[in-house]
Chain A
Amino acid sequence: MSPTMHSEQPKLSVAFEPRSGAQGSLISAPELSKLPVVQQIVEKLGGPLLELCRRARRVGPVNAGAIVLLAGCHDGVGSSTVALACAAAASVEWPTALVDVSSSDSKVGGRNLTQLLVGQATAGWEDVVSGAAPMDEAVHYLDTREALAFFPKSESQRLGLRTAEFSPADFAGWLGHMRHEYGLVFIDGGSMDGSAAQWAPWVDAALVVCDPKRTSAADWTNAWDRLEERGAHVLGIVETFV
């Protein structure tokens, strides 16, 4: 289904515009003092972000969590920032996980999420999938309540010292475990030019992140189509730097 057809449906064309004041903010959102930009986004757009997370949650199974992919139309459109903001907002209502699967060129302020939040991760999600490391070794909690878990990329995988070898069954098993552990799992897939599209078959919903100044209508239509062709339900477009 093409995005043009989606735009004709009023249900999907509803925009959650930013609202000012206390309605948009989340009082119990995790403190992200390291990331002031993300902190401000959650403070200003907490309400719309949480509403978007509720919609994503409804796409997933009833008795398990939903997996949401964030894919940028291009590099540097802010998909990692949006992923972190969504995860922070969702952690108010559900135990939430954020997984960094982006290629190294997807960055927040010059660094990707793993470098920004953890630094160098000795164990990453790839190690958990392959069985090389337990889940507890790879997880990093971003808040004191331990409601927002972050799974970084393995440093050895990033440097090419070790190649992850796991079967689709291992991968499906890990995602199933994540669904039971967390109400929402956000996957920072990076850009569509990179590896974001290959995650589409494994997720319940996807959000396309675009910078309207840099992205033409053909770009986001192409990204939307590619994700849907691979089985992802595209929730809509998140425009950044508006």
Chain B
Amino acid sequence: MPVVLRIPRIVEEGFEKASPRSSEFRWRVGVGAAMLMLVAAMPWLVRWRPPIEGRVEPTVSIVKNEEESDIELLPPLYAKANSSSLENESGMVEVVDGLVVPSPSGGSQ
């Protein structure tokens, strides 16, 4: 065959075939992804407590037991300050029911 020139197949430089990713690259990507997931899960990890078997959770009763309570429930103030009560110097209230006002002596004879 009268071939005067043979030109080989020339691949354009700079257009490299994509090489398979190395194991080192995969390892770094895996560690990075794990760190990212750990950081993202931090808020949830801080709040969470694992349940202990047999432990009684502290509960607050809605209905108060009056015997155990240190606070004495008092009636409203207007109920104390009626017309037949007086307040002494120390601020204590004294019941003055049955007080009889003496009549002036020698007045009506």
Interface, chain A (partner B; CB < 8 A): 3, 6-7, 12-18, 36-37, 40-41, 44-45, 48-49, 52, 55, 78, 82, 85, 207, 217, 220, 235-242
Specify the main secondary structure of chain B where it touches its partner.
Answer: loop
Interface, chain B (partner A; CB < 8 A): 1-10, 12-14
Quick one: which of B6, B9, B13, B14 contacts A17, CB cutoff 8 A?
B6
20 more contacts with CB within 8 A, not counting A7-B2, A16-B5, are A12-B2, A12-B4, A13-B2, A13-B3, A14-B4, A15-B5, A15-B6, A40-B10, A45-B7, A48-B5, A52-B4, A52-B5, A220-B1, A235-B4, A238-B6, A238-B7, A239-B3, A239-B5, A239-B6, A242-B9
Does the CB pair B1–A238 fall under 8 Å? no
| 18 pairs from A and B in contact (CB 8 Å cutoff) | A3-B1, A15-B4, A15-B6, A16-B5, A18-B7, A18-B8, A36-B12, A40-B13, A48-B5, A52-B4, A55-B4, A78-B7, A82-B7, A85-B7, A220-B1, A241-B7, A241-B9, A242-B9
Give the chain B neighbours of A240 by CB distance below 8 A.
7, 9
Give the chain A neighbours of B14 by CB distance below 8 A.
36
The 6 nearest A-B residue pairs measured at CB = A236-B4, A241-B9, A236-B2, A238-B5, A242-B6, A239-B6
Does the CB pair B12–A37 fall under 8 Å? yes
